[in-house]
Amino acid sequence: MTTHDIENVNVTAFDTMPTPEEIQARLPISDKAAKTVTHGRNLLRKILDRKDPRLFVVVGPCSIHDPVAGLDYARRLKKLSDEVGDTLQIIMRVYFEKPRTTVGWKGYINDPFMDDSFRIDIGMEKARDFLLQVAEIGLPTGTEALDPNAPQYYGDLITWTAIGARTTESQTHREMSSGLSTPVGFKNGTSGDLSVAINAILSASKPHSFLGLTEQGRVAIVRTKGNGFGHIVLRGGDGRPNYDTVSVAMVEQALTKAKLPNNIVVDCSHANSFKKPELQPLVMADIVNQVRLGNKSLVGVMIESNIEAGNQSIPADLSQLKYGCSVTDGCVDWATTEKMIRDAAVLLRDVLPERLS
């Protein structure tokens, strides 16, 4: 018996993947894009450090599947960002990877052509190209880190990172987060459990050593110094919201007990809106009201938004896809997005400076 008889028995192929260095060389970061990322990260750190009273808003499509529509959305969002920038720090939600409980389209990187060809090599390059174009528009981006190797390919273009409810408990993702260059939001568990997110923040704040990928594509021991800008993201759980004042107070107590800063972000989607996108404005309005009443722990919100409302199934004939409409979770449309953000800016403009007192 040989090694070949007992190794990789369920693997059908090893297809060569370009290294991070090769893809970055084909799509190098521009000076303008680098300034967008650096400026965005610095502003987020100031918000989390209570040196900037504004809220940050991570808003955009549930997932990117059409880069043309995605850039259309980005240009609209940049104009809105410029309008409300004195009150809200806007970050475009740019999600390329979708965790799946069973099966389904796993995102733009995994299957960029949406035809089960799974050209991850092409998807990774297309993802970097999209992020580069958004950064050159002048808009910072946030994404979910799912594959631990992906940040090496495009992490230099990301301003904010989320760790999803399914992976917050993962040691691999906690270790990875300890080395990320961005602030990281850890979502509470799908059951609503807060402890997994709090433990993740604590873990990611410490140094770690683990196996990872270099820019040259070599497996290496990655040694990190820890990420001091981890924070919790409330997304509801077990079919129930957790953004109400009582829930927020309980999170504040748990963070204080863990000796962590009271930095709380609320995801207006998922269980907080019972997966009904049309309820997201109500969640946003509630958060704005809590801030107006004096809450100083709420530092940000997330909104699933697209050009068109709702979502759609992926058709066999991709030419039948509706432009600007999500193929994953349902979203609010652009008109609703504008109203949510403009209303929040108006209501918060006069009260936010008091947060620094």
| pLDDT tens digits, one per residue of 161-178 | 999 999 999 999 999 999
Please indicate whether residue 93 or residue 103 has the higher confidence score (pLDDT): 93
Domain for residue 48, yes or no?
Answer: no
Domain for residue 50, yes or no?
Answer: no
Domain that holds residue 241: 12-40+55-356
| 236 CB-contact burial (10 Å; exposed 0-12 / middle 13-18 / buried 19+) | buried
The answer on pLDDT for 19 being more than 90 is yes
Element (DSSP H or E) covering residue 41: helix 31-48
> pLDDT value at position 102?
62
In the chain, how many domains are there?
A: 1
Q: Please report, for the domain that includes residue 287, its CATH number.
A: 3.20.20.70
The answer on pLDDT for 311 being more than 90 is yes
> pLDDT value at position 101?
60
The mean pLDDT value for 221-230 works out to 98
The answer on pLDDT for 99 being more than 80 is no
> pLDDT value at position 5?
80
- pLDDT bin (cut points 50, 70, 90) of residue 4 is confident
CB 140 within 8 A of CB 37: yes
| pLDDT tens digits, one per residue of 295-309 | 999 999 999 999 999
The answer on pLDDT for 1 being more than 70 is no
Domain for residue 47, yes or no?
Answer: no
The mean pLDDT value for 121-137 works out to 98
> pLDDT value at position 356?
86
- pLDDT bin (cut points 50, 70, 90) of residue 61 is very high
- pLDDT bin (cut points 50, 70, 90) of residue 87 is very high
Lowest model confidence (mean pLDDT) among 74-78, 98-102, 143-147, 279-283: 98-102
Domain for residue 273, yes or no?
Answer: yes
Domain for residue 347, yes or no?
Answer: yes
Residue 122 CA to residue 132 CA, distance in Å, equals 15
Domain for residue 23, yes or no?
Answer: yes
Q: In this prediction, what percent of the chain has a pLDDT beyond 70?
A: 99
Domain for residue 5, yes or no?
Answer: no
pTM for the full predicted model? 0.97
Domain for residue 274, yes or no?
Answer: yes
Residue 182: partners with Cβ closer than 8 Å, 6 or more residues away: 41, 44, 155, 158, 159, 160, 161, 229
